C-alpha cells in the first residue's frame, strides 16, 4: 500500500465513485486510485463490452455518455445497485486532429457530442442527486489546451474550454448544497490519446522541446506526465483536504503553458 492510498483510505472507504473514460489512460488510473483507496467504483466507458458486477470492487458499465437518456438510466441504476454517489470524475474524451477550416464538419460535432454534451449529461444527472443530499465532489479532466490555442487541435481545445466553463457554472449552482466542482487540466500525458498525436515527425522528444512552427512551447520539466500524476491531483480535489476548493482549474503540464 503506497502513501497516497494510506492517506485516503479512511475517507474514501466504501464511498461510491463514478469514473467515465475508465477503460484506459487517465480515467483508468483514477478508477484504480479510488479503488485502492477503498471506494466502490463504477467505471463507465463505451469501450467496455459488458457489465462486470462484483460487489465492493470496481464495476464496469458500458455507456455512451453522449446519449442523455442512457446516462440517466445508468446513473439511476448505479444508485440502486451500489448506493448514493459521492464522487464523479469525468475523464471521457475524444480527439480529432486537423485544421478547423479544412476538417470534416462531422469531426467538430462528434468532438462536442462526447467532450461537452457528454460531460453535461453525466454532470447534470449526478449533480441533481448530490444536490438532494447536499454533499458530493466532482472533477473534470480538462486540458491545458482549453486556455491556449492549438494548431491542429481546434475542435478538441474548443470543446474542453466549453466544458471547463460549463462545469464551473454547474459548480456555482450547487455550491450552496456543499458540492464542489473542479477541473484538472493536463498537458501532454502518456496515454493512448497522446500516442495518437505522435508521428515520425512529432515524437515525444519533440513534444518536450516544443515547436516554433506550431507556436507550441516545450515542457520545462523535460518530461510528459504519467496518468498517475494526473490521478494524484484529481484524488486531492476529491478529498477532504480540498474541502474549501471549488470552481478551480489546476493545470498539470510540467510548465508547458508557463502558468497561464
Query: 146-162: per-residue pLDDT in tens?
Result: 999 999 999 999 999 99
Q: What is the pLDDT of residue 38?
A: 96
Query: How many helices and strands (H and E) does the chain possess?
Result: 9, 7
Cell of 85: 454517489
Q: What is the pLDDT of residue 178?
A: 98
Q: Name residue 216's beta-bridge partners.
A: 211
Q: What is the pLDDT of residue 56?
A: 46
C-alpha span between 94 and 156 (Å, rounded): 8
Q: What are phi and psi of 223, to 5 degrees?
A: -160, 155
What is the arrangement of strands in the sheet containing 249-252, beginning at the earlier edge strand? 59-62, 40-45, 16-20, 87-90, 136-141, 179-186, 249-252
Catalytic machinery residues: 156
HSE of 136, CA atoms in CB hemisphere, 13 A: 31
CA terminus-to-terminus distance, the chain: 36
Residues in the chain where the model's pLDDT stays below 50: 1, 3, 7-8, 56
Was domain 3-189+226-251 assigned CATH 3.40.50.970?
A: no
Amino acid at each position: 500500500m503506497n502513501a497516497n492510498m494510506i492517506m485516503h483510505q479512511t475517507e474514501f472507504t466504501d464511498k461510491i465513485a463514478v469514473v467515465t473514460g475508465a477503460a484506459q489512460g487517465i480515467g483508468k488510473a483514477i478508477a484504480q486510485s479510488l479503488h485502492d483507496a477503498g471506494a466502490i467504483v463504477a467505471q463507465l466507458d463505451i469501450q467496455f463490452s459488458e457489465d462486470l458486477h462484483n460487489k465492493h470492487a470496481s464495476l464496469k458499465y458500458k455507456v455512451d455518455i453522449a446519449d442523455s437518456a442512457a446516462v440517466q438510466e445508468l446513473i439511476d441504476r448505479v444508485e440502486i445497485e451500489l448506493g448514493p454517489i459521492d464522487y464523479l470524475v469525468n475523464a471521457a474524451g475524444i480527439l480529432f486532429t486537423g485544421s478547423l477550416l479544412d476538417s470534416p464538419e462531422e469531426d467538430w460535432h462528434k468532438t462536442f457530442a462526447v467532450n461537452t454534451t457528454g460531460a453535461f449529461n453525466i454532470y447534470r444527472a449526478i449533480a441533481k442527486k448530490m444536490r438532494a443530499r447536499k454533499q458530493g465532489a466532482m472533477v473534470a479532466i480538462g486540458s491545458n489546451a482549453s486556455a491556449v490555442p492549438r494548431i491542429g487541435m481546434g475542435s478538441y481545445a474548443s470543446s474542453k474550454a466549453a466544458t471547463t466553463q460549463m462545469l464551473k457554472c454547474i459548480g456555482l449552482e450547487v455550491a450552496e448544497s456543499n458540492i464542489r466542482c473542479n477541473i484538472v487540466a493536463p498537458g501532454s500525458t502518456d496515454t493512448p490519446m497522446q500516442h495518437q498525436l505522435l508521428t515520425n515527425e512529432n515524437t515525444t522528444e519533440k513534444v518536450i522541446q516544443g515547436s516554433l512552427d506550431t507556436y507550441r512551447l516545450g515542457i520545462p520539466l523535460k518530461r510528459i506526465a504519467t496518468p498517475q500524476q494526473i490521478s494524484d491531483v484529481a484524488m486531492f480535489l476529491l478529498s477532504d483536504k480540498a474541502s474549501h476548493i471549488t470552481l478551480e482549474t489546476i493545470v498539470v503540464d510540467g510548465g508547458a503553458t508557463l502558468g497561464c
